[in-house]
A and B are shown apart, each in its own frame.
Chain A
Amino acid sequence: MKKIFTYFFLVLISLYILVPLYVLLATTFKPLQEIGISDMWKLPKDWSLSGFIKAFQKLGPNLKNSFYLTIPATIISAFIGSINGYVFSKVKFKYANLIFAIILFGMFIPYQSILFPLIRFLQSIKLYGTISGLILVHVVYGIPITTLIFRNYYSEVPNELVEASYMDGAGFFKTYTKVLFPISIPAFVVVIIWQFTNIWNEFLFAVTVTSSPDKQPVTVALVNLAGSQVVEWNVQMAGALLTALPTLVVYVLLGKYFIRGLLAGSVKG
């Protein structure tokens, strides 16, 4: 009896979670003649890829921009985080904790509070409106979270291991490449998934740092597509699906690591 109750509520909540997914998929695969107002909740009679193809034609270049932005930014910030994490966990220096807290604050600020100067700065170094500019932005503002995840991860590594390596005459960098880096794969996976998802999904920087439509990441293009007064709802929903797909694939394949990143984001590792 208790079991039935549990399942009942699990299914009830699942319905709430699934409704948007249903609308998204049902509308994406409808042909143009079935997207009339009265058909919204119905499944497609004729499954069609026409909306999907049209959305891909419109958003294709922006998807490419998003990949060009997300992949380098993710990789660079993972390496920066890793080396920073090494220092903040294994090299004891004065005020390290205070400095770390000051860095961490950077991941909570509303980015509105740095946006205007940031854009003036990017304009002055001629990176405004470029993908490289966006990469720079995401790498810099990714420093707090990537450093945090690696710092927490390396804190679990016994100090003796690092000390022993120093005793053997290995220097600072050699200890990193021989002792810490080889055991860092799980932390790298967490950071890479976290940064990939966040940068891919990000909107505020994307919409303010880029101006020309051919440079915009896919999130901006999707909002513009939905904002245009077109009635091709199947194209809009297909666009939303396309935008969500890369991070969804990552979540389905590597969900376990995604959750670790999420929990690290609440500071206490």
Chain B
Amino acid sequence: MRKKNLVIGISVVAPSIIAIAIFVYGFITWTLRVSFSNWNSFSALLKGEYKFVGLRNYIRLFQDTRFQTDLWNTLFFTLFFLFGTIALGIVMAILVDKGLKGSRLFQNLFLFPMAISFVVTGTVWSWIFAPGNLPNNPQGLNLLFQKLGLDNLMWGWYTSTDSLGHFNLALIPVIIAAVWQLSGYTMAMYLAGLRGIPNDIIEAAKVDGASEWKIFWRVKMPLLTPITLSALIILGHISLKIFDLVFAMTGSGPNFVTDVPAIYMFELTFRSNRYAMGSAIAIIMLLFVAIVIVPYLFSSMRGEKR
């Protein structure tokens, strides 16, 4: 009986395992192979002759100023996005967790952006930050600042080519939109954590005369470390892959100020038929994500066994 169920069970999951083996691991191998090839035009693809060129596409990429900009943009976008989302998520969770009248309403409000497509978010925020420097172009915040007499705050927003070192300031509006979308999610993670802390620990700290502030930083936060780690990894990998939001909101921008690897990959592969170069970017993105995700997956699988 047991043996029979084992056989049936394995044959039930086999199609899924095979599908993942092909669609994930097989296709990744295929992409890797393309990234080492000379398939940088439609005719090369049609001929189908595979010519191995080693790391040539990767070397070209790292020498490419646009790709260098993309890497800097990813770095700064990720840093500020992670900081903003986690900080705001914690603040939201603390405020909502106080359980005042109406907390539930605020909690639902903070989380609703998660139900919306990045594409919608991008469309609406691109309008809010629209600088109005083109004819017939809308103006968002600039118009508001002008009316309030704050003319010196008017700015090119996501069309600005200002930068601080390698940080393109045009990324700021995109970061604000991304934080808008994902801080509620972070709040939900922290709320789940806060509600899991046994009450007697908090009570004990109170008896010892600890202030609310101290209880939060010395008692609750250390217990929430695993949540912060999960949040960093989940949000971090989203940030490394970010595509839809940027695509819908700003595109690559003047001088690629808001360009990211995913957009460059998309344009190389689907607009200029440079499949090998596009595949090289895809593999680099995969490596970044794997560095973040693989240790996380293994540690959470191991944690389960306990």
Total A residues in contact with B, Cβ cutoff 8 Å: 90
Out of A99, A114, A117, A223, name the residue touching B119 (CB < 8 Å).
A223
- A166 contact set on B, CB distance < 8 A: 1-2, 5
Per-residue contact bits, chain B 158-184, to A (CB 8 Å; 1 contact, 0 not): 000000000000000000000010001
- B301 contact set on A, CB distance < 8 A: 97, 100-101
Chain A nearest CB: distance from B28 CB in Å? Answer: 5
How far is A34 from B27 in the complex, measured between Cα atoms in Å?
51
**CB-based nearest A residue for B1:** A166
The answer to the question of A265 belonging to the interface, with a C-beta cut-off of 8 Å to chain B, is: yes
- Asked if B180 contacts A172 (CB within 8 A), the reply is no
- A251 contact set on B, CB distance < 8 A: 112, 114-115
Given A23-B128, A116-B278, A208-B270, answer yes or no on A263-B192 (Cβ-Cβ < 8 Å): yes
**CB-based nearest A residue for B305:** A97
Given A110-B289, A166-B1, answer yes or no on A116-B275 (Cβ-Cβ < 8 Å): yes
Interface size class of B (residues with CB under 8 A): 35 or more
- Asked if B112 contacts A110 (CB within 8 A), the reply is no
- B197 contact set on A, CB distance < 8 A: none
Chain A nearest CB: distance from B279 CB in Å? Answer: 6
The answer to the question of B154 belonging to the interface, with a C-beta cut-off of 8 Å to chain A, is: no
How far is A237 from B1 in the complex, measured between Cα atoms in Å?
60
The answer to the question of A60 belonging to the interface, with a C-beta cut-off of 8 Å to chain B, is: no
The answer to the question of B110 belonging to the interface, with a C-beta cut-off of 8 Å to chain A, is: yes
Out of A9, A17, A208, name the residue touching B95 (CB < 8 Å).
A9
- A45 contact set on B, CB distance < 8 A: none
How far is A101 from B300 in the complex, measured between Cα atoms in Å?
10
- Asked if A13 contacts B300 (CB within 8 A), the reply is no
Residues of chain A from 92 to 122 with CB closer than 8 A to chain B in the complex? 93, 97, 99-106, 108-110, 112-118, 121
Given A103-B16, A166-B1, answer yes or no on A204-B243 (Cβ-Cβ < 8 Å): yes
The answer to the question of B46 belonging to the interface, with a C-beta cut-off of 8 Å to chain A, is: no
Chain B nearest CB: distance from A63 CB in Å? Answer: 13
- B188 contact set on A, CB distance < 8 A: 259, 262-263
Chain A nearest CB: distance from B23 CB in Å? Answer: 5
- Asked if A80 contacts B98 (CB within 8 A), the reply is no
Per-residue contact bits, chain B 230-249, to A (CB 8 Å; 1 contact, 0 not): 11001001001101100110
Give the segment of A36-44, A46-54, A179-187 that binds chain B. Answer: A36-44
The answer to the question of B113 belonging to the interface, with a C-beta cut-off of 8 Å to chain A, is: yes
- Asked if B117 contacts A231 (CB within 8 A), the reply is no
The answer to the question of A127 belonging to the interface, with a C-beta cut-off of 8 Å to chain B, is: no
Residues of chain B from 1 to 36 with CB closer than 8 A to chain A in the complex? 1-2, 4-6, 8-10, 12-13, 16-17, 19-20, 23-28, 30-31, 34
Out of B6, B119, B180, name the residue touching A16 (CB < 8 Å).
B180
Chain B nearest CB: distance from A110 CB in Å? Answer: 4
The answer to the question of B207 belonging to the interface, with a C-beta cut-off of 8 Å to chain A, is: no
- Asked if A116 contacts B269 (CB within 8 A), the reply is yes
How far is A141 from B301 in the complex, measured between Cα atoms in Å?
20
Given A13-B88, A91-B5, A143-B16, answer yes or no on A233-B30 (Cβ-Cβ < 8 Å): no
Given A7-B100, A23-B128, A37-B132, answer yes or no on A108-B16 (Cβ-Cβ < 8 Å): no
- Asked if B123 contacts A223 (CB within 8 A), the reply is yes
Residues of A within 8 A of B (CB): 3, 6-7, 9-10, 13-14, 16-20, 23-24, 27, 37-38, 40-41, 80, 83-84, 86-88, 90-91, 93, 97, 99-106, 108-110, 112-118, 121, 140-141, 143-144, 147, 166, 171-173, 197, 200-204, 208, 219, 222-223, 226, 229, 231, 233, 236-237, 239-240, 243-244, 247-248, 250-251, 255, 258-259, 262-263, 265-268
Residues of B within 8 A of A (CB): 1-2, 4-6, 8-10, 12-13, 16-17, 19-20, 23-28, 30-31, 34, 88, 91-92, 95-96, 98, 100, 102-103, 106, 108-121, 123-128, 132, 136-140, 143-144, 180, 184-185, 188-189, 192, 230-231, 234, 237, 240-241, 243-244, 247-248, 262, 265-266, 269-270, 275, 278-279, 281-283, 285-286, 289-290, 293-294, 296-298, 300-301, 303-305
Pairs across A and B, CB under 8 Å, 18 listed: A10-B103, A10-B106, A23-B128, A40-B127, A40-B138, A100-B301, A110-B289, A112-B278, A112-B282, A113-B283, A140-B23, A201-B117, A219-B244, A223-B119, A233-B127, A240-B120, A251-B112, A265-B234
